[in-house]
Amino acid sequence: MDIQNLLDDIVGAVQPHVGQGNVADYIPQLGAVDAQQFGISVATREGEVYSAGDAHVDFSIQSISKVFALALVLAFDGDSIWKRVFREPSGNPFNSLVQLESEDGIPRNPFINAGAIVVTDRLLSLTGNAAHAVRDLMRQETTKDSIDTDHHVAGSELANSHRNASLAHFLASCGNLENPVDDVLDSYAKQCALAMTCEDLALATRFLASNGLGADGTLLLSPAQTKRINAVMLTCGTYDAAGEFAYRVGLPGKSGVGGGIVAVVPNKCSISVWSPGLGRSGNSVAGVAALDEFTTRTGWSVF
């Protein structure tokens, strides 16, 4: 398999989709990003990295950070987080409020905003600084110490965070937050506002394709924990489009409203794509098309 050739081909094949959809503008700083960009990177289990298109441009990872926050909480704290968040697909938009009241403040899964706010709350209790914990994991797995939060993006989200604030206050009213609402929202916005490239994200996600083995050869997660994170990514990682994503791509994947998506071929490679135009459920249109192309051409899906 000539992966470099394949990625170069995919850049050409997805061009009709680049710029389709809408750039997220409920976070004003994200609304200013040029939609005519597309990048893709693959990091193999053995450590080779392949990239094409705009794979070296920084973008806001947004909800992709939720995977890494969950990985850290599972690594530090084992299964206890599952008393505070379910792991079922929600079938609702990522920022939905509706299920939280009928389910007594236990979010449907850790990848919708309500669930991720609970995970960040726990990570804040465990580390004292959840955003730094996620940032440091990214730095460790990429060996790139310049990775950091874009504070303009974080500030822009915090200044427009009525929806997440309402989720967090509701969680607090149900006794499902350990820290003050404002501290949790601050950490959450800063972890979402990490700026990274496709190549960085492919490298950072590689442990999920390697049974939990980190870049330095130590286990970040057990093989069983890795399997479970991948399962939750498959069923919940792209929100109310998780069924469509499984149908088209057939891999565990996690999207963010910055237009990035990471996907995992267990025991083979991690893939990261980025293009800012989003479809109805907040997933990159060209990114999903590229992953569809990748798994269709290689046969590397979990199905």
- The annotated binding site is made up of 63, 113, 157, 164, 188, 239, 257
Least CB distance from residue 204 to ligand GLN, whole Å?
Answer: 16
63 belongs to the catalytic site: yes
Options 10, 130, 232, 257; binder of ligand GLN; rule CB under 6 A: 257
For residues 246 and 180, the answer to whether their CB atoms sit within 8 Å is no
- Residues comprising the binding site for substrate? 63, 113, 157, 164, 188, 239, 257
Integer angstrom CA distances of residue 162 from 24, 25, 80, 150, 169:
16, 15, 29, 20, 10
| Interaction residues for ligand GLN, span 50-69 (CB under 6 A) | 62-63
Interaction of residue 256 with ligand GLN, rule CB under 6 A: yes
For residues 138 and 204, the answer to whether their CB atoms sit within 8 Å is yes
Please report the DSSP string for 82-121 in residue order. Answer: GGT---S---S-TT--HHHHHTTT--S-TTSHHHHHHHHH
188 belongs to the catalytic site: yes
Structure tokens belonging to residue 272: 């990261």
- Distance, C-alpha 145 to centroid of its chain: 20
Number of residues interacting with ligand GLN: please give it, by CB under 6 A: 11
Which lies closer to ligand GLN via its Cβ, residue 74 or residue 117?
117
26 belongs to the catalytic site: no
| Interaction residues for ligand GLN, span 187-246 (CB under 6 A) | 192
Least CB distance from residue 32 to ligand GLN, whole Å?
Answer: 16
Which lies closer to ligand GLN via its Cβ, residue 193 or residue 269?
193
Please state at what angle helix 113-127 crosses helix 181-192, rounded to 10 degrees: 100
What's the CA gap between 18 and 267, in Å, rounded? 30
Catalytic residue (choose from 161, 188, 273, 275)? 188
Q: Going residue by residue from 131 to 170, which x/- string records binding to ligand GLN, judged by CB under 6 A? A: --------------------------x------x------
Listed in order, strand segments (DSSP E) in the chain are: 39-44, 49-53, 59-60, 148-149, 194-196, 253-255, 260-265, 269-274
Residue ranges in contact with ligand GLN by CB under 6 A: 62-63, 94-95, 113, 157, 164, 192, 256-257, 282
Catalytic residues, which ones? 63, 66, 188, 239, 257
